Structure 1
């Protein structure tokens, strides 16, 4: 069961790998289309502006079509055979599902409590998925449909059919089966999901008012559950679904960056959300962990330790992928990992309390592209505060880890016996 959960988590993580490049291009396009930064060069009538507007349209794809990407990604990890075919089946079925939902709402939307004639705007419960006006089921809808397709694919893809209808074997059979499943699924979605959206609105209010305590609990659970793979169930609804803000914090932040390009209000006044600050630990915590391991390593092993730790530390800092670093001590010194989770929660909470907000769930690439670059001219004081907090906590990580390693003689990398190999764990 745990392996299945971890495979599911890996599938959930796949679309987020596209965020780094897309975020960079979004960040550049926002900056280069801003007249306050670029002057007359960024006039809407200029060729410069128009060229970057084209680039921007492509860069927003990841954020605009995130549910579709989740529907595509899940079969990659969970389909038992012919994963490429399963991805095609999943996309086809997901689009069919949304066409069904759209037509049902067009004809009977008032019966479900949905004003389908309204324009698609953030927060009104509607969405455009690949050009289809439909109900905004977000990541949950995509994963539900992809899960049904994976079940049908694993069960029926290799089913034998009579020769006269043999053309319906494989993907054709799976899509045909899912076609008929989607009709009642779409109907149930129209009945149930508007009520779920009302519940999500109440959840948004609760979490928005939870303050520092809510941020601390969220950050701690997200980190401490990494060994089980269950951390995906903590952050995914916040980042990619409408638990906090419509569409999830990642998409909401990216699509509202231009609204934050003002120094009339602080960032926290405009975006009072602290559930995207895990990158603070990924960047500054990684520096502290690396420093502690180097300081406590045996002198004759420090050179080899650098070869092991520098790549994984840079990976964590730049991309926010911390598992290679954290797994170097998770299994050999689990007490360190508990402290690591506690410090992670503390740095997120302190940062939020002192006004640091934004999309800081990843590494430095994410920070620069979706925060510092487009907003630095307006909110540089916030980012100075962020860096100061980070440096302070990097030293805290260093001293706490160094103390614990020496006090309890923990066999972290570089402290192994001569006959033990220094290696990464996974």
Structure 2
């Protein structure tokens, strides 16, 4: 069970690799869409050939990234779960993804289903009405030139997981001397080529059942309307300490649970896919469909990230003891600015979610309420973060149809709600937020920047106790041999906002946006490539 938990966390971390690229591409795409909107830039700019050529180029690059997301997730899943030889796992996953879809395509062809026989026109000739024909045709897609089921990101994840199982069992295999060249890491892609097409055949036979099940869940959430948005927003916040919120997010963003739309005869599944398609193909997706998708995206986060949590940071600062206020001020200011601008919240959230379940649950409920109210107000702001960048690029620059001003209105309501509720609970329940720790829990002096990396390694039990180091947006993720040697108090002196023991061998240290630099320095000190 503990090993399973460790793998789940590694999988959640792996999902962040393609998402970080897509988030940045989405911002560029949002700016490009705004620059091509005559209501924003004027008719004269819209008629300038060179700027429009550049903007069109940006759209094509972003569109290519979005179209190949399943492949990216296949590679990322394999990298995240590979025990060693991660480049080999990534290479094998790319091969596995392709040959798996070849297996799917061959099975479809054996059933008489090809790109030619599944067009809406061909299906109507077989007796289907127009609507049914278009819906069935949308179940298939050309992926890297291969006719296959439209499995979206889930297909990539399946290919990546199957490949990494093969990789972890085969990358150390030694073959007889005569064929030893094909052993070890070279053996992995060979086995992948043999196994994944057969997996594709099996997947093609059961995919209709899987697809119907996912669609049923999506319909259930869709019928729940704003209550589904509330449930999603609250659940995502509640899962923050476990790190499993990444998996919930990707499920909504890239499966039918987040919505389904048809563009140019192809089905788009997932809230983020639909929103990005509306940017890359202006006018192809109805605004009502986009609004249904964005109820799971950035618009529900903006009032919390830009207004609520900074107000909570002010409350924590004001509640600190006078002697601690200078220290707490620096901590809260950094966290508030990060949350406001980028929507990265863990540096602030980890200041209170472990010391007060009441504050934690209140924050989750208010987050879910924000998602629900933004859906009720018919906002249309996409992307994934929820900070000022998303508000400006996808809200304000998106024009009046996004109804972006309601997020600011709710944010202004959330300012006093968060401030006064946090102040009341902290003081009434004597919550030990930063600056209010009890005498035996006083924070140790923070080490200098020069000593930080050495202290981190020491706090993790020394170099010999560390088997792997990685990071996501805000957390240093470390796999250790013996959890008993990890000293949380030592790690907290290195500027960490919190320490989480997520399994028997996995520990996460929350540093915020600077974690990428810290991870690189720790790897360099350990000699890890």
Tell me, yes or no, whether TM beats 0.5: yes
- Which residue does 1:132 correspond to in 2? 146
d(CA) in 2 for partners of 1:284 and 1:115?
A: 53
Report the 3-state secondary structure (helix = DSSP H, G, I; strand = E; otherwise coil) of the residue aligned with 2:292.
Answer: coil
Alignment of 1:80-99 (within 5 A): 80-99=83-102
Specify which structure has the higher proportion of strand: 2
What's the CA shift for 1:53? Answer: 1.0
- Which residue does 1:224 correspond to in 2? 238
Unaligned runs of 5+ in 1: none
- Which residue does 2:253 correspond to in 1? 239
Check whether the contact 1:207–1:214 (CA below 8 A) recurs between aligned residues.
Answer: yes
Tell me, yes or no, if structure 1 residue 370 matches structure 2 residue 432: no
Q: 1:9 to 1:258 in 2, by over 3 A?
A: closer
**Residue in structure 2 matching 1:22, options 13, 22, 25:** 25
What's the CA shift for 1:202? Answer: 3.6
Check whether the contact 2:29–2:280 (CA below 8 A) recurs between aligned residues.
Answer: no
Check whether the contact 2:252–2:270 (CA below 8 A) recurs between aligned residues.
Answer: yes
Tell me, yes or no, if structure 1 residue 405 matches structure 2 residue 426: yes
Deviation per residue, 1:311-350 (Å, 9 max, x gap): 2333333333322221222222232111111111112212
Alignment of 1:241-256 (within 5 A): 241-243=255-257, 244-245=259-260, 246-256=268-278
Check whether the contact 2:301–2:386 (CA below 8 A) recurs between aligned residues.
Answer: yes
Deviation per residue, 1:61-95 (Å, 9 max, x gap): 33222111111112332111111221111112112
Specify which structure has the higher proportion of helix: 1
Check whether the contact 2:75–2:91 (CA below 8 A) recurs between aligned residues.
Answer: yes
Unaligned runs of 5+ in 2: 122-133, 261-267, 445-491, 500-529
What's the CA shift for 1:139? Answer: 2.1
Tell me, yes or no, if structure 1 residue 296 matches structure 2 residue 316: no
- Which residue does 1:331 correspond to in 2? 354
d(CA) in 2 for partners of 1:106 and 1:95?
A: 16
What's the CA shift for 1:182? Answer: 1.4
Tell me, yes or no, if structure 1 residue 271 matches structure 2 residue 275: no
d(CA) in 2 for partners of 1:150 and 1:221?
A: 29
Q: What is the TM-score when the length of structure 1 is the normalising length?
A: 0.88
Report the 3-state secondary structure (helix = DSSP H, G, I; strand = E; otherwise coil) of the residue aligned with 1:134.
Answer: strand
Number of matched pairs:
417
What's the CA shift for 1:360? Answer: 5.5
Query: Structure with the greater relative contact order (CA < 8 A, sep ≥ 6): 1 or 2?
Result: 1
d(CA) in 2 for partners of 1:78 and 1:335?
A: 35
**Residue in structure 2 matching 1:425, options 483, 487, 498:** 498
d(CA) in 2 for partners of 1:261 and 1:124?
A: 19
Aligned-residue Cα RMSD (Å) equals 2.8
Report the 3-state secondary structure (helix = DSSP H, G, I; strand = E; otherwise coil) of the residue aligned with 2:431.
Answer: coil
d(CA) in 1 for partners of 2:190 and 2:310?
A: 53
Check whether the contact 1:109–1:116 (CA below 8 A) recurs between aligned residues.
Answer: no
- Which residue does 2:335 correspond to in 1? 312
What's the CA shift for 1:258? Answer: 6.9
d(CA) in 2 for partners of 1:334 and 1:9?
A: 24
d(CA) in 1 for partners of 2:335 and 2:116?
A: 49
What's the CA shift for 1:352? Answer: 1.6
Q: 1:221 to 1:115 in 2, by over 3 A?
A: farther
**Residue in structure 1 matching 2:45, options 31, 41, 47:** 41
Check whether the contact 2:95–2:193 (CA below 8 A) recurs between aligned residues.
Answer: no
Q: 1:363 to 1:213 in 2, by over 3 A?
A: closer
Q: What is the TM-score when the length of structure 2 is the normalising length?
A: 0.72
d(CA) in 2 for partners of 1:194 and 1:26?
A: 33
**Residue in structure 1 matching 2:11, options 8, 12, 21:** 8
Check whether the contact 1:254–1:370 (CA below 8 A) recurs between aligned residues.
Answer: no
Check whether the contact 1:79–1:154 (CA below 8 A) recurs between aligned residues.
Answer: yes
Q: 1:150 to 1:399 in 2, by over 3 A?
A: same
Deviation per residue, 1:108-142 (Å, 9 max, x gap): 3449x9954569x9981223433433211122221
Is 405-414 or 55-64 further displaced after alignment? 55-64
